[in-house]
Amino acid sequence: MASIFGHGLVAYTTSKLIDSKSSQLLLVLAIGSAIVPDLDVLAFKFGISYSHPFGHRGFTHSILFAILWSVLLSFLFGKNRKLIFAIVLFLSTLSHGVLDAMTSGGRGVGFFIPFENSRYFFPFRGIKVSPIGMEKFFSEWGISVLLSELKYIGIPCFLILITLHFAKKSKL
Ligand SMILES: [Zn+2]
């Protein structure tokens, strides 16, 4: 994974960009959805290997999972805005795998599980992979992860949010 900060920021930006009504609930669900795929690290505890379809960066990082998850949440919480909820949550969930596929370590992402079990990286892999577990994160490794995320995730998101902010202001 990238860190939870990187994943959360992309979801935050996605929600701000698409949801013109700025629903707080949708914002929280989007950030949660961008983090949820990494619950699959629990697979290691059950002895499921990394390369298994249900291993880390497997099914929960796939396009199918993003579809199922976003449809489920939009039906549970979307009320009369199900389509917007589904779009924001789909993109937020999928953004997790997309960021992971741009990280420098681990195995690739199983975007097409269960149809095809290959793992993928994008040609660009500038984001430093985040350590699994908190103790390791608060170390030098954690700092270099955050610096690479600041550059490749933080600055682009910040530019989008600032532009959005001024675009909204100029409409008032
Ligand atoms: Zn991940």
Q: Of 35, 27, 40, nearest to 2 (Cα)?
A: 35
Ligand 1 centroid–CA 75 distance in Å is 25
Alpha-carbon span 114 to 8, nearest angstrom: 26
Residue 17 has pLDDT above 70, yes or no: yes
CA 121 to chain centre: 15
Ligand 1 centroid–CA 97 distance in Å is 6
Give 65's contacts (C-beta < 8 A, 6+ positions apart). Answer: 37, 59, 93
H-helix segments, 19-62? 24-35, 42-45
Alpha-carbon span 62 to 115, nearest angstrom: 10
Ligand 1 centroid–CA 158 distance in Å is 22
Q: Give strand pairing partners of 109.
A: 120
Ligand 1 centroid–CA 1 distance in Å is 4
Single pTM value for the model: 0.91
pLDDT for the residue 32: 97
Ligand 1 centroid–CA 159 distance in Å is 24
Ligand 1 centroid–CA 63 distance in Å is 13
Per-residue pLDDT of 139-158, as tens digits, reads 777 788 888 999 999 999 99
Pick from 46-55, 132-141, 158-167: least confident: 132-141
Cα-Cα-Cα-Cα dihedral sign, residues 33, 36, 13, 87: negative
Where does the pLDDT of residue 1 fall: very low under 50, low under 70, confident under 90, or very high at 90 and above?
low
Where does the pLDDT of residue 135 fall: very low under 50, low under 70, confident under 90, or very high at 90 and above?
low
Using left for φ > 0, alpha for ψ between -120 and 50, and beta otherwise, residue 116 falls in beta
Q: Which protein residues have a CB closer than 5 Å to ligand 1 (ion)?
A: 1, 38, 100
Ligand 1 centroid–CA 38 distance in Å is 5
Amino acid at 18: I
Residue 172 has pLDDT above 70, yes or no: no
What is the gyration radius of the CA atoms in the chain, in angstroms?
Answer: 16
